[in-house]
């Protein structure tokens, strides 16, 4: 398992290593991700089935008012909760409410885009991606939810920007969907998790750093090389 990054500089260094240094490693990571994704999907299906069972059992209780104050009928020990169950009112006008309203819309658009790509309807696919991108700007306004959330949304916005109008490929659409679905599951994800998601997006061929940053890095690299040459000459 790769070591956890603790700051942005480390993250960039690790990202550069992954994307430029070793392409095999990148494809290996992608394969691992696919395997992990399949396992997660199996787990999620099992959990969904369990939840359906629980919610059916809970249905009469949800609408019942119990007049025995000390009897707890909710939150059974060990029961893992869904985000939607935890929060008192996701319909209120808070940032999280916006996330829960907008992210499913973006995901739905991206699913449509992926279907269109499968049917080789590039125009429809691009149209849906453009809609998804427009909706992302609403999430950009919710970055106060947390550093991890802000970092991931920032990265997604930049990834779209860096495409410069070139339509997304099916694998890229899928990796964006995975990231957004994670935001729905874990809206309070930390910077390390966001970094992992950005690495996964990069592995699918998206570029989540501003293009200007690469130009600056090249400039910096050029200056370093010049210094080395000068020192060697003087030596």
Partner 1 sequence: MPSSFDLNAFQLENAAFEIRYPMALLLWDRSGQLWTECQKKWPELVALHAEPAKTVFRANKNELACELATARIIARFPERPLKEFSEQGPEFLNMVCKHLEVDSLARIGLRLIFFRAHESAEKAAATLLEGNLVRIPVGQYFKATKEPTLPEYAIQFNGNALQTTVRIRAETRRVDFDPPPGPGFDKFVSIHEEQHGIVVDVDHAAIGTMSLKQVLLREWLAQALHVLRRDLVSFLEK
Binding site for partner 1 (CB under 8 A): 55, 58, 61-62, 64-69, 71-81, 83, 85-90, 92, 94-96, 145-146, 185-190, 193
Of the CA atoms within 13 Å of residue 230, those in its CB half-sphere come to: 6
**Measured from the CB atom, is 188 or 228 closer to partner 1?**
188
What is the closest distance, in whole angstroms, from the C-beta atom of residue 157 to partner 1 in the complex? 21
**Measured from the CB atom, is 107 or 168 closer to partner 1?**
107
What is the closest distance, in whole angstroms, from the C-beta atom of residue 18 to partner 1 in the complex? 23
What is the closest distance, in whole angstroms, from the C-beta atom of residue 28 to partner 1 in the complex? 26
**Measured from the CB atom, is 76 or 233 closer to partner 1?**
76
**Measured from the CB atom, is 9 or 65 closer to partner 1?**
65
Polymer length in residues for the chain: 235
* Radius of gyration of the chain, Cα coordinates, nearest whole angstrom: 22
Backbone angles phi, psi at 207, to 5 degrees: -115, 110
Give yes or no for a contact between 99 and 145, defined as CB atoms under 8 angstroms apart: yes
What is the closest distance, in whole angstroms, from the C-beta atom of residue 16 to partner 1 in the complex? 27
**Measured from the CB atom, is 99 or 129 closer to partner 1?**
99
Which string of b and e fits 160-194 if b means at least 16 CB within 10 Å? beebeeebbeebbbbbbbbbbebbeeebebebebb
**Measured from the CB atom, is 49 or 81 closer to partner 1?**
81
What is the closest distance, in whole angstroms, from the C-beta atom of residue 166 to partner 1 in the complex? 33
Tell me, rounded to whole angstroms, the distance of Cα 165 from its chain centroid.
21
Of all helices (H) and strands (E), which one includes residue 135? helix 122-140
Give yes or no for a contact between 162 and 207, defined as CB atoms under 8 angstroms apart: yes
Give yes or no for a contact between 170 and 118, defined as CB atoms under 8 angstroms apart: yes
What is the closest distance, in whole angstroms, from the C-beta atom of residue 84 to partner 1 in the complex? 9
């Amino acid at each position: 398992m790769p070591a956890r990054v603790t700051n942005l500089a480390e993250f960039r260094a690790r990202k550069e290593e992954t994307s430029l240094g070793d392409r095999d490693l990148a494809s290996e990571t992608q394969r691992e991700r696919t395997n992990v994704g399949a396992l997660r999907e199996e787990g999620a299906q099992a959990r969904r089935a369990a939840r359906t069972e629980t919610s059916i059992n809970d249905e009469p209780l949800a609408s019942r008012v119990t007049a025995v104050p000390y009897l707890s009928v909710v939150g059974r020990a060990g029961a893992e909760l869904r985000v939607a169950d935890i929060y008192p009112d996701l319909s209120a006008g808070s940032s999280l409410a916006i996330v829960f309203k907008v992210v499913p819309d973006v995901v739905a658009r991206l699913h449509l885009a992926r279907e269109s790509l499968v049917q080789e309807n590039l125009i429809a696919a691009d149209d849906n991606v453009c809609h998804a991108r427009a909706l992302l700007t609403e999430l950009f306004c919710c970055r106060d939810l947390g550093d991890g959330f802000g970092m991931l949304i920032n990265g997604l916005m930049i990834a779209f920007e860096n495409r410069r109008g070139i339509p997304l490929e099916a694998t890229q659409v899928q990796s964006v969907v995975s990231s957004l679905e994670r935001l729905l599951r874990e809206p309070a994800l930390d910077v390390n998790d966001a970094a992992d998601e950005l690495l996964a997006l990069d592995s699918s061929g998206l570029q989540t750093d501003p293009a200007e940053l690469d130009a600056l890095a090249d400039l910096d690299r050029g200056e370093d090389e010049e210094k080395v040459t000068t020192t060697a000459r003087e030596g």
